[in-house]
Structure 1
Amino acid sequence: MDLFDFSSYLKCILSVPSEEIDIQQLTGGLMNLTVRASFTPPANLFRFGHLSSAILKYAPPFMAADPTQPMSVHRQAIEAQALVLLSGCSIPAISEILSKFPTLRIPKLIHHDAERHVLWMTDLGETQTLSQYLTSDPLMHDIERIATSLGAFLAELFRATRDPPDDTITLVANPSHTAQTYSFLISVTKKVLTTAGITNAELLAERVNEALQSNGTVEPCLGMADLWPGNILIDSHCNIGLVDWEYFGLSTASSELGMLVAHLHLIRLQTQASAHENSRSFTAFLLDSYFQHAPAPSSYFRRQILMAYGCELVTRLENARELEDASKGQLLNAGVRSLIAAGGSENEVDFSTLKVLDNDRGALSQDIMAMVCHRFA
């Protein structure tokens, strides 16, 4: 089913013939339909002048991949606001940070057609996701350069947006989506743990609930709230692009980092042996750089990163059809141990739980989070 006719839409909006427009559908397409529109000759795109291409994202009132699942189009308004804020217009500190990281790019908002639910953004060019990059054959020097830059940027972004003012929070608030997401995560966590026969499933699910409810109330900052390798793009010159900001809003540095590290763990389980070291090295470089630039982690940070990491791994099992049974077992093992290590409070965190290894692939299952914890344990 064609969800949206971009060619006809652009022909109408820009008053250019269809033969001057080329539409290329981009990968993804779970929530939205995203394309690259190329123009020959370059088209006059609002205040940006003449551009040879732009990225357009259509947000239907349902999941693009499953029209039976309704979704609020408000997610697109959030992304439009996020791109404005991240341009540095409203928060000068962000502009200063971006100037320090010339290889890190965030799309600029060209236009938001709220009536047709189409977001226009600048084109970051030909890229691959971080997952694709790490499973190719990159040079270790380039892995280090990219991870180091990203780690430092995230640390400075979270610090610069710490304790955001109420008017900024209001601009990107999406309470109904947040409540729906938290309810889903808690439900899936309990279901996966119970199905797997974890004896303390109820207790661990309640810990996840408590951690999610506190997210953004302690040590709040602004974050992507969906930070995973699919939203991190790498081009042939090792430039980094951060895309898909539709869930941008109040978050915490610990939950953002915990989610990303969990997905880096997933890359190791999903891919061939040659990519294992790439993922592990990227994680180590990222963490070293992050903690060099971030404030000393608090007891709240230490517990919350364990909770975010564990929750992400456990809930991922709900739709991990691509994983072999052995990998699913390792995923469950790592997620459960992280939730157990978090304890019932900040005073009960026990990192020693992560040091128990019981699989024939050595530290594969546990050393990702152990790499995080040994930096502040």
Structure 2
Amino acid sequence: MLDPGAVAAIEKWMKRLGWEAGGRLISVERAGNGNMNMTVRVRTADWSFILKQARPWVVKYPQIPAPLERAGVEAAFYAAVGGVAEVSRRMPRLRGFDAESHLLWLEDMGEGGDLTHLFQTGEFTAEECAELIRYLVTLHRVKVTAGEAAVFQNRAMRALNHEHQYEFPLRAENGLDLERITPGLAQEAGRLQRDEKYCERVAELGRLYLADGAVLVHGDYFPGSWLRREGGLAVIDPEFCFLGMAEYDLGVFLAHLELMGAGRHGARVREAYGA
């Protein structure tokens, strides 16, 4: 398995795979704050790159099993959008993929960090919103071939996400310490958990999420998947992608704009989709 402390072992591993780093590896360190995978930044004297490995659990929460095939789905996503400039130029280039070890070799998009700090600062510009809108509109127009369609069902990842988005939060005994997040949140959650109409509506949305569709969606379009870098925003981590409804990405995008205190930009998102 990918070990950030084992520089020599990673160097040998890459050579065995035929992945030429172009020089001796100098350092390996954890990259970003992602939940799902073991992701590291590897440095040589001349450049840096990213190695990302899926494991049969969520790396941040090892008690939660997770499908290994997510790495192959992510690799397929990069291949599908490779010829679409507005999408691919904002994403890391896939340099290699080893299906046996569920390992991706990716371009390093820089160390600017993701945008999760916006939940505290709200420093999100109209131009950044416009960049994210252009990316999403273009992605949703990507045509997936019949040969690609099967991998983009991504059913195991959807089942995992469905559990944690549409079911787990509505269980009264879910073990979440909501008061630690926001005082008063536990009381509000309890009210919603007891609201039958609300729960029925959430269940309906969950069924729509699991239904197959014709649009390639990113599947996790929120500030943790957006990076600030020189030249504009980048988008990463499409492992939750699937063929479904564009409205899923839109809903996640709009909801997080509100949580960031940037709901004023929501009208531009709706306008781009004629809503």
TM band (smaller chain): 0.7 to 0.9
C-alpha separation in 2, matches of 1:26 and 1:154:
25
| Equivalent in 79, 85, 106 of residue 91 of structure 2 | 106
Q: Could you say if the C-alpha distance between residues 156 and 225 of structure 1 is closer, same or farther in structure 2, counting changes exceeding 3 Å?
A: same
Deviation of 1:109 after TM superposition, in Å, equals: 0.7
**Cα distance, 1:130 vs structure 2:** 2.0
Superposition deviation, residue 126 in structure 1: 2.3
> Deviation of residue 173 (structure 1)?
2.1
- Relative to total residues, which structure has the larger helix share, 1 or 2? 1
Alignment of 1:313-328 (within 5 A): none
CA 1:246–1:123 in 2, change beyond 3 Å: closer, same or farther? same
Asked if residue 293 in structure 1 is aligned to residue 272 in structure 2, the reply is: yes
Q: Which amino acid aligns with 1:181?
A: N
The equivalences for 1:122-161 within 5 A come to 122-132=107-117, 135=120, 143-158=125-140, 160-161=141-142
- Structure 1 residues 207 and 58: alpha-carbon distance in aligned structure 2, compared to 1, 3 A threshold: same
* Separation of aligned partners in 2, 1:64 and 1:145: 34
Distance 1:209 1:134 in 2: 27
Question: Partner letter of residue 226 of structure 1?
Answer: D
Which of 202, 205, 222 does residue 208 from structure 1 map onto? Answer: 202
Question: What is aligned with 1:227?
Answer: 221
Q: CA deviation at 1:209?
A: 1.8
Q: What is the TM-score normalised by the length of structure 2?
A: 0.78
Matched residues in 1 for 2:192 and 2:59: separation?
Answer: 35
**Per-residue CA distance 1:254-277 (angstroms, 9 max, x = gap):** 22121122223333xxxxxxxxxx
Letter paired with 2:209: N
**Structure 1 partner of 2:59:** 64
Rg: which structure is higher? 1
Counterpart amino acid of 2:110? G
Residues 14 and 191 of structure 1: CA distance in aligned 2, closer, same or farther (over 3 Å): closer
Structure 2 residues without counterparts, runs of 5 or longer: 16-20, 173-186
TM-score of the two chains, using structure 1 as the length reference: 0.59
Q: How far is the alpha carbon of 1:224 from its aligned partner? A: 1.1
Alignment-derived partner of residue 9 in structure 1: 9
Q: Distance in 2 between matches of 1:169 and 1:59?
A: 21
Alignment length, in residue pairs? 255
Distance 1:125 1:53, change over 3 A: same
Q: Which runs of 5+ in 1 are unaligned?
A: 43-51, 89-93, 268-278, 298-377
Q: Distance in 2 between matches of 1:216 and 1:190?
A: 18
Select the structure with the greater relative contact order (CA < 8 A; seq sep ≥ 6): 2
Give a deviation string over 1:7-28, Cα, whole Å, max 9, x none.
Answer: 1333203558996421121221
Equivalent residue number for residue 36 of structure 1: 41
Cα separation, 2, equivalents of 1:229 and 1:195: 23
Aligned-partner Cα distance in 1 for 2:130–2:196: 39
Per-residue displacement from partner, 1:48-90 (whole Å, max 9, x unpaired)? Answer: xxxx2111112221121232322221111111111111212xx
Counterpart CA distance in 1 for 2:235 and 2:34 is: 17
Residue in structure 1 matching 2:244, options 243, 248, 251: 251
Code of the aligned partner of 1:58: Q
Secondary structure class of the residue paired with 2:239: coil
- The verdict on how the C-alpha distance between 1:171 and 1:266 changes in structure 2, with shifts beyond 3 A counting, is same
1:62, 1:70 within 8 Å by CA — same for their partners in 2?
yes
Distance between the aligned counterparts of 2:203 and 2:118, measured in 1? 34
Is this contact kept in 2: 1:190–1:202, CA < 8 A? no
* Large movers: runs of 4+ above 4 Å: 2-6, 14-19, 133-138, 192-195, 216-219
Identity of matched residues, %? 23
Structure 1: distance between partners of 2:118 and 2:231:
10
